[in-house]
Amino acid sequence: MSLINRRQFMANASALAAGIVIGGISRPAFADAPPHIDFPTAPRDRISVASYPFRAYINAPGNRDRDPKLPGMDLKDFAVEVVKKFNVHNIEPLSRHFSSLENEYLVQFRAALRLANAKAVDIAVDGDHSFYDRDLAARKRAIAHAKTFVDVAVQIGCPSIRAHIRRAKDSSPDIHLAAESLVDVVGYASSKNVVVNLENDDLVSEDAFFVVKVIEAVNHPFLHALPDFANSMMTGNADFNYRAVEAMFHHAYCICHVKDGEVDDNGKRFSIDMRKTFAILKATGYRGYCSMEFDEPGDPYAPTAALVEQTLRYLAQ
């Protein structure tokens, strides 16, 4: 073996031990096996209800949207409510709705799910720091927060989390920095058998096509898209919305958000074509859960029931 070849061999061995670089992003060299979730096939069993629409009712220290004039419930009682009101046995809790992250509370939460014959299929994780912030310390806090909820997911028997890409105060969306942060999060999550999802939520920090580029840059089988039916319609451009939803569904695996429209901060409603959106869902071969996420002012109960019925109809077609 020549000296040059020996040096190359040693360099390759070191790369395999330490990691590889994809698109300038360092990630572990060993390939993770893809996740495997046994998704139900019956339409009703594929439906979930998110706790976000019911935020005015949820008692939790971190819930800024609690309305004291309305009856309250702890998040661990939400599954019972969903089963009773909607005959749905899957929930998607929001991170800010947990009363506690202590082990004792999470044990109670899992027991409450079991008693309700329900399960959590995703945790929507909000955070206060951005994965693409120029400040490394802020990025590390975003990573640590996401990892905390990976651990919560494990404790309550939930197969995935949705990680929010928050806007950064002094930084524009950056594919490289976001992907570099998420490599760390997803590497940790995959070791716990938890899928990480990214949503087309914020039109700036979570533009659907930016999210897709981040997912492709990370290139990890445990990182997927969470397509929201209506968030991208907030641009006012229907063509953009359906292209965005389709791009997201091509990278989706286990969770999507169903709604028939969205209302902006000025009260203007943007409606979407449910038939067309479900056609996109089916054409891309999506087999995961459909989480009801009504997001308009007013009582969420009747609109959520209507979304459940529409979803049952379209999934059965």
pTM value > 0.85: yes
For 120, list phi and psi in degrees, rounded to 5: -90, 125
pLDDT in tens, the chain (317 residues): 333 343 443 343 333 334 445 455 655 544 468 999 999 999 999 999 999 999 999 999 999 999 999 999 999 999 999 999 999 999 999 999 999 999 999 999 999 999 999 999 999 999 999 999 999 999 999 999 999 999 999 999 999 999 999 999 989 999 999 999 999 999 999 999 999 999 999 999 999 999 999 999 999 999 999 999 999 999 999 999 999 999 999 999 999 999 999 999 899 999 999 999 999 999 999 999 999 999 999 999 999 999 999 999 999 99
> How many CB atoms are closer than 10 A to CB 254?
19
Q: DSSP per residue over 197-255, as a string?
A: EEES-STTTT-HHHHHHHHHHH--TTEEEE-BSSGGGGGS-HHHHHHHHHHHHTTB-SE
User: Tell me, which fold does domain 45-316 have in CATH?
Assistant: TIM Barrel (3.20.20)
**What are the residue boundaries of the structural domains of the chain, listed by start?**
45-316
